[in-house]
């Protein structure tokens, strides 16, 4: 039962008041999202723009929509009117496009910068050097319609818990470093989005503030 899965995870997260649950709803039908909504969830994560749009149209408007997958610049305009947080920003060019679309819709769009922490070739994200280059850039200072709220990362898909823990620890270290050194009109570092169904307890242990959980709520895809 969906509502039982949700209750069990909420009970597990309850001691950690800073940790928000993002229900990852990709590939799941609107009826299931509605059931999760009725069980009390309001933060939904989708990895594709073309899948988020019809779900946004169909569902109540107090849902916070989180874009968690790779985002192409030419698709930003479709989600700019309503998206709550974009977790997967991995270039200055994408930030500039999000800012442009934010301006058009007269809103400030909250973003996380995705950092590459896994030892896998397939994952998107910035290196620490690329992250610093963006934060130091003159171009960033001109962007009035975005706000960088923190970092996102995905650990390696492995049973080696020590490795996963170390990858999350790395992300937390990077976060702590930049939090001390960067704070401005459009940089307000609060969130570390890390942890999925298989590793969210490890992520919380290492300082996650947002866990993105799909299969543990909705079943396997």
Binding site for ligand PLP (CB under 6 A): 24, 26, 47, 68-69, 154, 196-198, 212-216
Report the nearest approach of ligand PLP to the CB of residue 157 (Å).
9
CA 92 to chain centre: 17
Closer to ligand PLP by Cβ: residue 24 or 187: 24
Closer to ligand PLP by Cβ: residue 68 or 86: 68
Closer to ligand PLP by Cβ: residue 140 or 200: 200
Report the nearest approach of ligand PLP to the CB of residue 3 (Å).
18
Report the nearest approach of ligand PLP to the CB of residue 211 (Å).
9
DSSP secondary structure string for all residues of the chain: -HHHHHHHHHHHHTT-TTPEEEEE-TT--HHHHHHHHHTT--EEEES-HHHHHHHHHHS-TTPEEEE-S---GGGHHHHTTT-SEEEEE--HHHHHHHHHHHHHTT-PEEEEEEE--SS-SS---B-HHHHHHHHH-HHHHT--SEEEEEEEE---SSS-HHHHHHHHHHHHHHHHHHHHH--BTTEEEEEEE---TTTHHHHHHTT-SEEEE-HHHH---
Closer to ligand PLP by Cβ: residue 69 or 102: 69
Report the nearest approach of ligand PLP to the CB of residue 220 (Å).
8
Report the nearest approach of ligand PLP to the CB of residue 214 (Å).
3
Report the nearest approach of ligand PLP to the CB of residue 104 (Å).
26
CB 190 within 8 A of CB 209: yes
Closer to ligand PLP by Cβ: residue 103 or 165: 165
Q: For residues 78 and 15, give the distance between their C-alpha atoms in angstroms, rounded to a whole number.
A: 37
- Closest residue by beta carbon to ligand PLP: 214
Closer to ligand PLP by Cβ: residue 140 or 196: 196
């Amino acid at each position: 039962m969906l509502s039982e899965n949700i209750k069990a995870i909420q009970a597990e997260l309850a001691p950690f008041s800073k940790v928000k649950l993002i229900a990852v709803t990709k590939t799941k039908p609107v009826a299931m999202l509605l059931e999760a909504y009725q069980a009390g969830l309001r933060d939904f994560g989708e990895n594709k723009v073309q899948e988020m749009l019809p779900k946004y149209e169909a569902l109540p408007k107090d849902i916070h929509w989180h874009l968690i997958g790779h985002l192409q610049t030419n698709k930003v305009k479709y989600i700019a009117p309503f998206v709550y947080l974009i977790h997967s920003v991995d270039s200055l060019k994408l930030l500039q496009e999000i800012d442009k679309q934010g301006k058009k819709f007269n809103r400030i769009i909250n973003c996380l910068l995705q950092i590459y922490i896994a030892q896998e070739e397939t994952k998107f994200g910035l290196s620490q050097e690329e992250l610093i280059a963006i934060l130091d850039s003159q171009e960033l200072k001109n962007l009035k319609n975005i706000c960088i709220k923190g970092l996102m990362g995905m650990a390696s898909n492995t049973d080696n818990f020590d490795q996963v823990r170390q990858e999350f620890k790395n992300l937390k270290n990077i976060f702590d470093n930049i939090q001390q050194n960067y704070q401005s009109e459009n940089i307000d570092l609060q969130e570390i989005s890390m942890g999925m169904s298989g590793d969210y307890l490890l992520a919380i242990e290492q300082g996650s503030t947002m866990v993105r959980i799909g299969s543990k709520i909705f079943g396997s895809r």
